[in-house]
Amino acid sequence: MAEHHDSESALSGVQHVVLVMSGKGGVGKSTTATNLALALARSGYRTGLLDADIYGPSIPTMLGITGRPVSLDGKRIEPLARFGLKVMSIGFLLEDSRSAVVWRGPMLHGALQQFLNDVNWGELDYLVLDLPPGTGDIALTLSQKVKVSGAVIVTTPQQVATDDVYKSVAMCKKVNIPVVGVVENMSYFIDTAGVRHNLFGEGGGAAIAEFSEAPLLGQVPIDQTVREWGDKGTPVVQAAPDSAAARVFTMIASRVVEEVSRRAKDDGGNELVIDRSGGTGGRKRLPIAK
């Protein structure tokens, strides 16, 4: 029988943890994570959103949330809420939103542990995590501390992005985080005459999906309203649900639900484990794919 992850009891009310990640910065992870979480909530799922990008928290701005979390029982922090989402971010705890978080790895690890263990997430169907770019401490910590249902990999079409995104997929394979699918952001632009332009090339998302052995969940068009509504604190899925971009995000959310459910059924609750403790101290086990 698999040994529980360290944060499993704290997240016992959370059915599925979904990571939104990429090896590349600037591809739209926060935009994807926020609109994915909102699409899930609008579809009736109890959803939380954790901004795990400690150095560059974007979720407070994208959701238009200000204020500080409080504790009602002196033990656990209550997440803030907006549009039916439970939300937590380091940005809520900074005196100045322009302040830099200058921390080394152990402090980063400690902050993430607190967001997982000390926040009263309650009963959720999905907890979506917006990860920082790269393949560093945050992703490694999550692979060891949390039972992750899967990762959504975000890329843009051009090679300068995909070269780094491949590394993120390779990391998922190494630490046994299942990839539920790939989102190709900024895929194309439709001009006023209805002509489609592939400004950043094409095929990048499909190539990443093939490498990850997971589906291409959707291609999000370049749409000025996505940026405008995000800057105003009301993401496009909430502000303009019938827009082309919002419909794509809603479709992506639906496909994530399908993939997570299918994988959960395929696993059948039987999990193989590997013991990396060396026979000493607290045993740490990572799930390995059958």
**Residues ≥6 apart with Cβ < 8 Å to 179:** 150, 151, 152, 153, 169, 172, 212, 213, 214
Taking the C-alpha atoms of residue 191 and residue 258, their distance in angstroms, rounded to an integer, is 33
pLDDT tens by residue, 74-130: 788 899 999 999 999 887 776 555 555 544 455 555 677 778 888 899 999 999 999
Residue ranges per structural domain of the chain: 14-288
| Residues 186/160, Cβ–Cβ less than 8 Å | no
Q: What are phi and psi of 213, to 5 degrees?
A: 55, 45
Q: What is the pLDDT of residue 281?
A: 40
Q: What is the pLDDT of residue 58?
A: 86
Strands 196-197 and 80-82, by their bridges, are unpaired
Q: What is the pLDDT of residue 96?
A: 55
SS3 160: helix
Token readout for 281 is 């101290």
In CATH terms, 14-288 corresponds, of 3.40.640.10, 3.30.310.50, 3.40.50.300, 3.40.50.620, to 3.40.50.300
Q: What is the pLDDT of residue 100?
A: 52
List 112's β-bridge partners, or say none: none
Query: Region 207-219: what's the mean pLDDT?
Result: 95
